[in-house]
Amino acid sequence: MSFAISNVSFKSLAVVLSYNLRLCRKYSYKTVRRPDSAFVSRKLTAPQVEHMEEKQAPNDLTKHLKAKILATGPITVAEYMREILTNPLSGYYMNRDVFGREGDFITSPEICQIFGELVAVWVVSEWRKLGSPTPFQIVELGPGRGTLARDVLKVLAQFKLSKEFSIHMVEISPYLSKVQAQRLCFSTETINDENSTHYLTGKTASGINIYWHKRLEDVPRKFSIVLAHEFFDALPVHKLQRDGKQWKEILIDVNKADTTDKNKSLPFRYVISKAPTPVSHLYQPIPEETRDSLEYSLDTDRLISMMSDRFECEGGIGLIMDYGHFGEKCDTFRAFKKHQLHEPLCAPGTADLTADVDFRQIKRIAEENGKVICFGPVEQGSFLKKMEGDARLEQLLSNALPENHDIIRSGYKMLTDPNQMGKRFKFFSIFPSVLKEHLEKFPVNGFQ
Ligand SMILES: C[S@@+](CC[C@H](N)C(=O)[O-])C[C@H]1O[C@@H](n2cnc3c(N)ncnc32)[C@H](O)[C@@H]1O
């Protein structure tokens, strides 16, 4: 792949922008505290257990999972997560809006418009740095309510780029894809052809085409800017545990009725595999791995390899925004319901399941064949400030009614304050290796 390369000053781009005012949104954000890390024999306090017993009427997903386990034996945590989040009939994401004050958690684009605007400025500045290849695709993985895409579209329109690109949403949820389409499109069409690579298409008021795909492999192979905000944390993880020289896997089994364990009110329990499993065999730890237990996402590996391959062959860049660590955490698998931590084995399908993203593993997989180079992870607060977030905040305030100043300031503070979302949430970018020298001269915005 070759690029015509020109550089662009980020500040000049920021000056071009004249934003409309939309208030920061006022909600709590997805807590990132970890639950009890003794996940194999999870101890629960009495009030928690009571809370669970109260809510324990088995739902369809519980019955389905129990039947499956009784028929074929304990399942992996990854399979449990996949069923709960994306089971076509009753998966958590499939039939409802789970975001915001009425939902279970709130994400950065939903908190304050500055987030999406600065991501858009990053997109434009990095695209121009690559010589403004056209036409290009903006691909968003797991777009939620479509709020990030809406803010990105708004800023790209300010740059008069509406004719240069199409948008490709990778969204598994039929319900959320409709929410996104309603928010973004002037007209839509459902595609019923099973040979089609997209299942929904629409046009924005300014004529930009948007396509919805179930999988990244269905997105056309063209120059793409891939955005993923709180997507990788929703992908299933396997939980592995070292046993001498080999790795075994934590599995999920049906809880026996006669157990004397305090967790007896839960429908399921964690067990350790008797022998290595396919994934514990497949997993290749780095030689210096010191952890005795860890979470490993095969789905993330697969998607990152696919992105790296596409970026090398057709060109493109990726921006991953998520909470995560650099290979030091062991147990981050958790559930959220109504903005509170929730027991992941309780009332499956009624709460979000998530695990921190392992950026060290993403970097390792992305760079293993030399196709791409990675930057970050950097902290969200640092990224947003380097992208001139403070200046944007002042600009917003100068256009806002005085009674709205507090909500705008508190939204921006929530995104950037190290004690709120500023440190725990990270930005990570992926570029084709062919750009290495160019990016040394003109570093990636927000990652310098
Ligand atoms: C935690 S939400 C994040 C939403 C949005 N990016 C935000 O930050 O507000 C995860 C999103 O990914 C989608 N999703 C989850 N698993 C998916 C999968 N395997 N393939 C495609 N989309 C998926 C969900 O439906 C949802 O839109």
| pLDDT per residue as tens, the chain (448 positions) | 433 334 344 444 444 444 444 545 443 333 333 233 333 333 333 334 334 443 445 678 999 999 999 999 999 999 999 999 999 988 999 998 898 888 888 999 999 999 999 999 999 999 999 999 999 999 999 999 999 999 999 999 999 998 889 999 999 999 999 999 999 999 999 999 999 999 999 999 999 999 999 999 999 999 999 999 999 999 999 999 999 889 999 999 999 765 555 566 899 999 999 988 999 999 989 889 999 999 999 999 999 999 999 999 999 999 999 999 999 999 999 999 999 999 999 999 999 999 999 999 999 999 999 999 999 999 999 999 999 999 999 999 999 999 999 999 999 999 999 999 999 999 999 999 999 999 999 999 999 8
**Ligand 1 centroid, distance to 142 Cα (angstroms):** 3
Is the minimum distance from the CB of 143 to ligand 1 under 6 angstroms? yes
CB within 8 Å of 46: residues ≥ 6 apart: none
| Ligand 1 atom showing the smallest separation from residue 86 Cα | 16
Is the minimum distance from the CB of 78 to ligand 1 under 6 angstroms? no
pLDDT score recorded for residue 313 = 97
List the residue whose alpha carbon is closest to atom 17 of ligand 1.
Answer: 172
DSSP code for 25: P
**Beta strand 224-229 with 136-141: parallel, antiparallel or unpaired?**
parallel
Instruction: List alpha helices for 260-400, DSSP H.
Output: 278-282, 298-313, 359-367, 380-386, 389-399
Q: C-alpha 301: how far from its chain's center?
A: 14
Nearest alpha-carbon partner for 419 in 380, 364, 383, 373: 380
Is the minimum distance from the CB of 139 to ligand 1 under 6 angstroms? no
| Ligand 1 atom showing the smallest separation from residue 228 Cα | 6
Nearest alpha-carbon partner for 173 in 153, 146, 196: 146
Structural domains in the chain, sorted by start: 10-441 (3.40.50.12710)
**Ligand 1 centroid, distance to 439 Cα (angstroms):** 30
Nearest alpha-carbon partner for 166 in 137, 127, 134: 137
Is the minimum distance from the CB of 144 to ligand 1 under 6 angstroms? yes
pLDDT score recorded for residue 11 = 44
Is the minimum distance from the CB of 95 to ligand 1 under 6 angstroms? no
| Ligand 1 atom showing the smallest separation from residue 233 Cα | 1
CB within 8 Å of 12: residues ≥ 6 apart: none
List the residue whose alpha carbon is closest to atom 13 of ligand 1.
Answer: 142
Is the minimum distance from the CB of 167 to ligand 1 under 6 angstroms? no
Is the minimum distance from the CB of 110 to ligand 1 under 6 angstroms? yes
Is the minimum distance from the CB of 107 to ligand 1 under 6 angstroms? yes
**What is the signed CA dihedral for 62, 67, 73, 76, rounded to 10 degrees?**
-30
Nearest alpha-carbon partner for 272 in 292, 258, 297: 292
pLDDT score recorded for residue 9 = 41
Is the minimum distance from the CB of 366 to ligand 1 under 6 angstroms? no
SS3 346: coil
| Ligand 1 atom showing the smallest separation from residue 229 Cα | 6
pLDDT digit string, tens, across residues 54-88: 344 567 899 999 999 999 999 999 999 999 999 99
| Ligand 1 atom showing the smallest separation from residue 321 Cα | 8
Determine the residue type at 264.
K
Is the minimum distance from the CB of 93 to ligand 1 under 6 angstroms? yes
pLDDT score recorded for residue 245 = 87
pLDDT score recorded for residue 227 = 98
